[in-house]
Amino acid sequence: MNSLGQTTQLPNYSCSENNASIQFILSSSSHSAWNSTSNCSLQQCNISSNGNNSCLSSSTPCFDYRTINNISYCAPGILCSILERCDNNTQTCSSNNSICIVNSCCSPQAVCLPFSATQMCKSGTNALLTFETPSKLVRAVHFSCVLSAQSQWNQTGETVAGNPSGANGTSLNELYDPVGFYYDQASSTMYIGDNLNYRILKWPLGNSLGTVIAANGYGIGCVSNQLDGVLGVAFDSYGYLYTSAWCGKISKFPPNSNSTTTGVLVTQTTGSEHIFIDPLTDDLYAVSYLDCSIVKIARNNTYSVVIAGGNGCGNGLNQFDTLDGAYVYENSLYVVDSGNHRIMKYLLNNNSATNGTVVAGGNGAGNASNQLNSPRDVIVDASGTLYIADGVNHRIQRWFASAMYGDTIVGTGIPGTAANQLNIPEGLRFDEQKNLLVVDRLNNRIQMFKLSVCSQ
- In eight-state DSSP terms, residue 75 is E
What is the per-residue pLDDT for 274?
93
What is the per-residue pLDDT for 122?
60
Q: Would you say residue 338 has pLDDT above 60?
A: yes
Q: Would you say residue 246 has pLDDT above 50?
A: yes
Mean pLDDT over 179-204 rounds to 93
Confirm or reject CATH 2.120.10.30 for domain 158-450, answering yes or no: yes
Q: Would you say residue 13 has pLDDT above 50?
A: no
- Residues 6 or more apart whose CB falls under 8 angstroms from that of 17 comprise 136, 137, 138, 139, 140, 186
Residues 190, 448: Cα–Cα separation, whole Å? 12
Q: Which one, of 442, 433, 434, 426, lies nearest residue 389 by Cα?
A: 426
Q: Which one, of 156, 20, 223, lies nearest residue 436 by Cα?
A: 156
Residue 225: band (very low, low, confident or very high) from pLDDT cuts 50, 70, 90: low
Q: Would you say residue 179 has pLDDT above 80?
A: yes
Residues 37, 106: Cα–Cα separation, whole Å? 11
Q: Which range is least confidently modeled, 132-141, 222-231, 314-323?
A: 132-141
Kindly report the average pLDDT of the chain as a whole number.
81
The pLDDT tens digits for 142-178 are: 455 678 898 999 999 999 999 999 999 999 999 999 9
Mean pLDDT over 103-112 rounds to 76
Residue 91: band (very low, low, confident or very high) from pLDDT cuts 50, 70, 90: confident
Strands 451-453 and 152-153: antiparallel
Residues 150, 173: Cα–Cα separation, whole Å? 35
Q: Would you say residue 200 has pLDDT above 80?
A: yes
Q: Which range is least confidently modeled, 205-209, 323-327, 328-332?
A: 328-332
Q: Where are the alpha helices (DSSP H) in 294-408?
A: none
- Cβ-count burial 361-393 (b if 16+ within 10 Å, e if not): bbbeeeeeeebbbbbbbbbbbeeebbbbbbbbb
User: Could you give the strand order of the β-sheet that contains 377-380, starting from the edge strand earlier in sequence?
Assistant: 377-380, 386-390, 395-399, 407-410
Residue 290: band (very low, low, confident or very high) from pLDDT cuts 50, 70, 90: confident
Mean pLDDT over 421-449 rounds to 96
What is the per-residue pLDDT for 391?
98
What is the per-residue pLDDT for 148?
86
Q: Would you say residue 297 has pLDDT above 50?
A: yes
Domain range list for the chain: 84-145, 158-450
Share of the chain above pLDDT 90, in %: 49
- Greater confidence (450 vs 122) lies with 450
Residue 33: band (very low, low, confident or very high) from pLDDT cuts 50, 70, 90: very low
Residue pair 397/388 in contact by the 8 Å Cβ criterion: yes
Mean pLDDT over 63-81 rounds to 78
Residue 64 belongs to what H/E stretch? strand 63-66
Q: Would you say residue 346 has pLDDT above 70?
A: yes
What is the per-residue pLDDT for 40?
52
What is the per-residue pLDDT for 202?
97
Q: Which range is least confidently modeled, 48-57, 65-74, 227-236, 341-350?
A: 48-57
Residue pair 189/197 in contact by the 8 Å Cβ criterion: no
- Residues 6 or more apart whose CB falls under 8 angstroms from that of 77 comprise 23, 24, 25, 27, 31, 42, 63
What is the per-residue pLDDT for 49?
38
- Greater confidence (29 vs 119) lies with 119
- Greater confidence (83 vs 194) lies with 194
What is the per-residue pLDDT for 18?
31
- In eight-state DSSP terms, residue 432 is T
What is the per-residue pLDDT for 218?
67
Mean pLDDT over 292-321 rounds to 92
Q: Would you say residue 326 has pLDDT above 90?
A: yes
Q: Which range is least confidently modeled, 56-60, 286-290, 333-337?
A: 56-60
What is the per-residue pLDDT for 81?
62
